[in-house]
A = this chain, B = another copy of it.
Amino acid sequence: MARNRVIALSGGVGGAKLVLGLSRVMPPEALTIIANSGDDFEHLGLSISPDLDTLLYTLAGLDNPETGWGRRDETWNFMNALAALGRERETWFRLGDKDLATHIERTRRLRAGESLAAITKDFCQRHGIAAHLLPMSDDKLRTRVKTGEGWLDFQDYFVRRRCEPAISAIDFAGAETARPHPDFLAALTDPALRAIVICPSNPLISIEPILALRGVCDALRAAGAPIIAVAPLIGGKAVKGPTAKMLRELDLEVSAAAVARRYGDLLDAYIVDRADAERCAGIAPRIVPAKALMETLADREALARLVLETADQLMTVAV
């Protein structure tokens, strides 16, 4: 039987780049993307799922390459009218007019009793996305960070406060009870599984919420396919976002090697930038040097191909 199924664990913008690459170098219907939903929150009475939406818009070709979030060719008439109603303080999370359709429709359907996964599946179909985009859970797990001002909800810290407060801890509220989505667990036991990819997302706030769900680490270890991570840091720097700052504040080493150490024995291979390969020697069973910076679509596809080739080589070795 052909092993053709791939699972990718992903957060928003960084992960979405590799996910897009994967969806273009393999049959997209064989790709299951597990999206972090620890960042989800309620704003203005709307249920917002930032990482799911970034993945959705990226796969649909509707993403905004300048911002890394929201939709391209967006307009802001709603937001400006809201500010005129005295809600200037609520405009820190920018909701574009087109983007609003996603949030209003999702909120309406969640209230009507549909699951986040079912709604996401329908949105993908509507946008012509063949890959399976799945929230990590239909249950509530919410990332919070501890700062000098006390615990902050993630978006409050991340967007409203622009990651300015120094953090001393991260917590996944609800992790004790939140269950991984059954389709996620089912994908992990699929005999056709070819690879499990940990995308180059922020480990602390994008990947670890997924790993924090009950039973996920065990299920990953038990899966019959290699686990390959792509480093989110290049030369000790994050391509985008606060990964480096957060690691530093938590007294962790700011390096690709330190990220791999966090994933520990889960990894079968670690794809790192050539600049970091030497320092990563021995951290994972296999270290694969590459151009890790994905500037162009061709970069995304090349890295995706390398991930799959690495998985196939590991599988051949294992057999």
Q: Are the C-beta atoms of B122 and A101 separated by less than 8 Å?
A: no
Minimum C-beta distance from A191 to chain B (A):
34
Q: Are the C-beta atoms of A108 and B44 separated by less than 8 Å?
A: yes
Residue of B nearest to A60 (CB): B84
Complexed CA–CA distance, A71 and B71 (Å) = 24
Indicate with 1 or 0, residue by residue over A84-99, a CB within 8 angstroms of chain B CB atoms. 1111000000001111
Q: Are the C-beta atoms of A82 and B105 separated by less than 8 Å?
A: yes
Q: Are the C-beta atoms of B81 and A101 separated by less than 8 Å?
A: yes
Chain B residue numbers with a CB within 8 Å of A75 are 75, 77, 97
Complexed CA–CA distance, A80 and B99 (Å) = 11
Indicate with 1 or 0, residue by residue over A124-144, a CB within 8 angstroms of chain B CB atoms. 001100000000000000000
Complexed CA–CA distance, A87 and B102 (Å) = 11
Complexed CA–CA distance, A105 and B80 (Å) = 13
Question: Residue A263 at the B interface, CB < 8 A?
Answer: no
Q: Are the C-beta atoms of A77 and B105 separated by less than 8 Å?
A: no
Q: Count A interface residues, CB 8 Å.
A: 32
Closest 7 CB pairs of A and B: A81-B101, A77-B97, A45-B108, A97-B97, A82-B101, A81-B98, A86-B126
Chain B residue numbers with a CB within 8 Å of A58 are none
Q: Are the C-beta atoms of A77 and B102 separated by less than 8 Å?
A: no
Chain B residue numbers with a CB within 8 Å of A81 are 71, 97-102
Name A residues whose Cβ lies closer than 8 Å to a Cβ of B.
44-46, 71, 74-75, 77-82, 84-87, 96-102, 104-105, 107-108, 111, 122-123, 126-127
Number of copies: 2
A100-B100, A111-B45 as given contacts; A105 in contact with B87, CB under 8 Å: yes
Q: Are the C-beta atoms of B105 and A78 separated by less than 8 Å?
A: no
Complexed CA–CA distance, A87 and B127 (Å) = 13
Q: Are the C-beta atoms of B104 and A77 separated by less than 8 Å?
A: no
Q: Are the C-beta atoms of A101 and B86 separated by less than 8 Å?
A: no
Complexed CA–CA distance, A71 and B85 (Å) = 14
Complexed CA–CA distance, A46 and B100 (Å) = 13
A85-B123, A126-B85 as given contacts; A78 in contact with B101, CB under 8 Å: yes
Chain B residue numbers with a CB within 8 Å of A101 are 78-79, 81-82, 84-85, 87
Complexed CA–CA distance, A123 and B100 (Å) = 21
| Cβ contact of A85, chosen from B87, B97, B102, cutoff 8 A | B102
Minimum C-beta distance from A100 to chain B (A):
5
Minimum C-beta distance from A70 to chain B (A):
12
Minimum C-beta distance from A9 to chain B (A):
26
Complexed CA–CA distance, A127 and B83 (Å) = 11
Chain B residue numbers with a CB within 8 Å of A82 are 101, 104-105
For this complex, 19 residue pairs linking A to B, each with C-beta atoms less than 8 Å apart, are A44-B108, A45-B104, A74-B77, A75-B77, A75-B97, A77-B77, A77-B98, A78-B78, A78-B97, A78-B98, A78-B101, A80-B98, A81-B97, A82-B104, A85-B102, A85-B105, A87-B105, A97-B97, A100-B100
Chain B residue numbers with a CB within 8 Å of A127 are 84
Residue of B nearest to A84 (CB): B126
